Structure 1
Amino acid sequence: MHKFPSQKEIINSVIKGIETAKNNFTYWTADELFLSYAPAKFLTIHISQEIAKLENAPEIFIDAPVADILRCSLPSRRDFRDFMKTKYLAQDIMCLTLDERFEHKSDNDSISRVIMSIKNGVRNVKEEYKNEIEKMCKMIDREKLSDSTLDYGLFAFYLDISNSARKKSEQRIEEIIDNFDKIVSSYSNLKSRFEGGNVKVIPNIGEYSIGCYIIEPNFK
């Protein structure tokens, strides 16, 4: 079994992947700012490519169903239906899931470790984003660390606004973090933090930022 990449390696790959997506989109289209106009999965593909470059790259799955992730992370693969019912989790997908890489003995022995929600063109707090945070919290939360193999969840995003926007990026990011923190704080066994968020200004055009909100178990 391969050694799973560290959280720092994954987060750095996520941020670099979004930066690469921004640079590629700018070069291909001559649009200096609005990566938010990029097609669906543009960020997800670039992030996947960066993670795949890691020395001990995990298995990478795009749009994996929540049920499959739970089946591959709970102590018993039969428990996912009861888990979803108890947590009021509807069938849905995660943008990106990272599994342990090893030689499989069957098509039913995968082990999920990291889940990600990836959003482009984030500018304000939306119910859609809060629902993603709530979904990841429900999937990661447990009474004992051994009750799941999920190590953490990431909400990665790209934010861009024009120079005419009244509310600047820093304030928008603060509001996003504050709303996410309120959700995570309702789970006693979870903690969160934010990485990235540096605002880059393009003179006479606008500004953009890349952020990564991390949710993980909080067992002392």
Structure 2
Amino acid sequence: MNNFPSQEKVIKCVIDGITTAKNNFTFWTADELYLSYAPPRFLTIHVSQEIAKLNNAPEIFIDATIADILRCSLPSRDTFREFMKQRYLTQDVLCLTLDERFEHKSDNDSISRVIMSLKNGVRNVKEEYKYEIEKICKMLYRNKLEDSTLDYGIFAFYLDISSSARKKSEQRIKEITESFDKIVNSFENLQSKLEGGKINIIPNIGEWAVCCYIIEPKFK
């Protein structure tokens, strides 16, 4: 079994992947369009490619269902339905799931370690983003570390605004982060932090930034 990549390396891959997506889309459209106009899964594919470059790359799954992730992370693989019922989790998908890479003996022995939601064109606090944060929290929260193999979750997003926008990127990121913090703080044994967030200014055009909001158990 390969050593699973560190959180630091995974976060760097996420930020680098979204930054590459921005640079590619800008070049492909001859500077005509912001990355926020890119098609669905554009960020997901670029982030996946960056993670796949790691020497100890994990297995990468796109749009895995909550049920499948829980089945591959709970101590007992047949308890995911009850877990979802108790946590009021409805069937949905996560943009990316990172599993341990090893030689499988069956199609039912995967081990999920990291879950991610990737959002493009995030500019303000929205219910759909808060829903994603709550979903990640419900999947990560537990009383004992050994109750799940999930190490942490990431809500990564790309933000861009025009230079004429009244509210600048720094304030937008602050408000988005604060709204997420309120949700995470409502769960016992969870903590969060923001990585990235460097604001890039394009003179007379606008600003853009890439952020990673990480949620993880406190007793990890």
**Number of the residue aligned with 2:76:** 76
Q: Secondary structure at the match of 2:20?
A: helix
- For structure 2, the 5+ residue unaligned runs are none
Residues in 2 aligned to 1:32 and 1:203: alpha-carbon distance in whole angstroms: 15
**Number of the residue aligned with 1:93:** 93
CA contact (8 A) 1:33 1:206 kept: no
Q: Which runs of 4+ in 1 moved over 4 A?
A: none
For 1:11-90, what aligned pairs fall within 5 Å after superposition?
A: 11-31=11-31, 34-90=34-90
Confirm or deny that 1:158 pairs with 2:158: yes
Counterpart amino acid of residue 25 in structure 2: F
**Deviations for 1:37-91, whole angstroms, at most 9, x for unmatched residues?**
0111000000000000000000000000000000000000001000000000000
**Number of the residue aligned with 1:139:** 139
Residues in 1 aligned to 2:184 and 2:33: alpha-carbon distance in whole angstroms: 31
Counterpart amino acid of residue 191 in structure 2: K
Q: Secondary structure at the match of 1:118?
A: strand
TM-score (norm 2): 0.99
Deviation at 1:31, TM superposition (A): 2.4
The CA RMSD over aligned residues, in Å, is: 0.9
Q: Secondary structure at the match of 1:198?
A: coil
Stretch moving more, 202-211 or 28-37: 28-37
Residues in 2 aligned to 1:88 and 1:152: alpha-carbon distance in whole angstroms: 20
Residues in 2 aligned to 1:78 and 1:103: alpha-carbon distance in whole angstroms: 22
Figure out how many residues of one structure are paired with residues of the other and give that number: 220
Q: Secondary structure at the match of 1:61?
A: strand
CA contact (8 A) 1:33 1:160 kept: no
Confirm or deny that 1:118 pairs with 2:118: yes
- For structure 1, the 5+ residue unaligned runs are none
CA gap of 1:32–1:216, structure 2 versus 1, over 3 A, is farther
Counterpart amino acid of residue 44 in structure 1: T
**Deviations for 1:177-214, whole angstroms, at most 9, x for unmatched residues?**
00000000011210000001110000110000000000
Counterpart amino acid of residue 86 in structure 1: Q
Residues in 2 aligned to 1:89 and 1:62: alpha-carbon distance in whole angstroms: 19
CA contact (8 A) 1:10 1:51 kept: yes
Counterpart amino acid of residue 159 in structure 2: L
Q: Secondary structure at the match of 2:117?
A: strand
Deviation at 1:30, TM superposition (A): 1.5
**Number of the residue aligned with 2:213:** 213
Q: Secondary structure at the match of 1:30?
A: coil
**Number of the residue aligned with 2:173:** 173
Residues in 2 aligned to 1:136 and 1:32: alpha-carbon distance in whole angstroms: 35
**Number of the residue aligned with 1:194:** 194
Residues in 2 aligned to 1:15 and 1:177: alpha-carbon distance in whole angstroms: 17
**Deviations for 1:138-162, whole angstroms, at most 9, x for unmatched residues?**
0000010000000000000000000
For 1:98-113, what aligned pairs fall within 5 Å after superposition?
A: 98-113=98-113
**Deviations for 1:101-139, whole angstroms, at most 9, x for unmatched residues?**
000000000000000000000000000000000000000
Counterpart amino acid of residue 152 in structure 1: Y
Counterpart amino acid of residue 3 in structure 2: K
Identity %: 76
